[in-house]
Amino acid sequence: MTLRILFIGLAWIVGQQGVIAQENAYSLAKKLQEQFLSAPAVSFSFNLPEEGRITILDDVHGGHVRLESAKLTIVSDGKTIWNYDKSTNREMIDNVASGSAFRDASSLFRFADNYTARITAQHGSHYTLELSPNALLQSLFGATGHMQTLTLELQMRKNTLRVVSASAQSKQGTTKAERLSISTLKTVPANQFSIHLPKSATVTDLRE
């Protein structure tokens, strides 16, 4: 009888641990957010058919962000934004608007705070997490093909998430990002947070 009670007790404990260990969409997004925001910098890049290669470089703690595409180079320090249009050879300088994602360089990687998350598939410790950006990020994603969903294939290992692969879908619905890469960096490439303009470039400063 004692052995039977002990067995039932152990089975209950194991069952409870399984429940505790079970992740939901928010807890996955929160863990991922904490991992990325603990890094000095984050790189996020992908290809879109009409836009070409797009790279977003984020100085997480320094407040700087750089967005680079075939058409644009945008740099911000959270207060000022420098927007260089390569096709017209013109740079616009302005104050960062209140409510803009450029005010917080880490906003793109706040997966629990700035996205709606849902798990679309799970196989053991492997999860497929779909992230839909909220309105705050629209100013940032407007320059990157109006991305609507970011899908991450995640592997949980010892309470740490590894991004196995990633994909994204644009506003058009049928256009998918290719060669998407998202990773943390050990150092901040400080020289990337400025724009080196051609001498012939026209500069318009809209700051008051």
> pLDDT tens, position by position, for the chain (208 residues)?
555 544 444 444 444 344 334 789 999 999 999 999 999 999 988 887 777 888 989 998 888 999 998 999 999 999 999 999 999 999 999 999 887 778 887 888 899 999 999 999 999 999 999 998 887 776 666 655 566 788 889 999 888 888 888 877 766 554 566 777 888 899 988 789 999 999 999 999 998 7
DSSP 135: G
Contact partners, residue 91, CB within 8 Å, separation at least 6: 82, 83, 84, 85, 195, 197, 201, 202, 203, 204
Query: What residues are paired with 51 via a beta bridge?
Result: none
174: closest CA among 148, 151, 153, 152?
A: 148
**Which residue's structure tokens are 């680079």?**
68
- Between CA 144 and CA 196 the distance in angstroms is 21
Contact partners, residue 78, CB within 8 Å, separation at least 6: 63, 64, 96, 102, 103, 104, 105
- Predicted TM-score of the model (pTM): 0.74
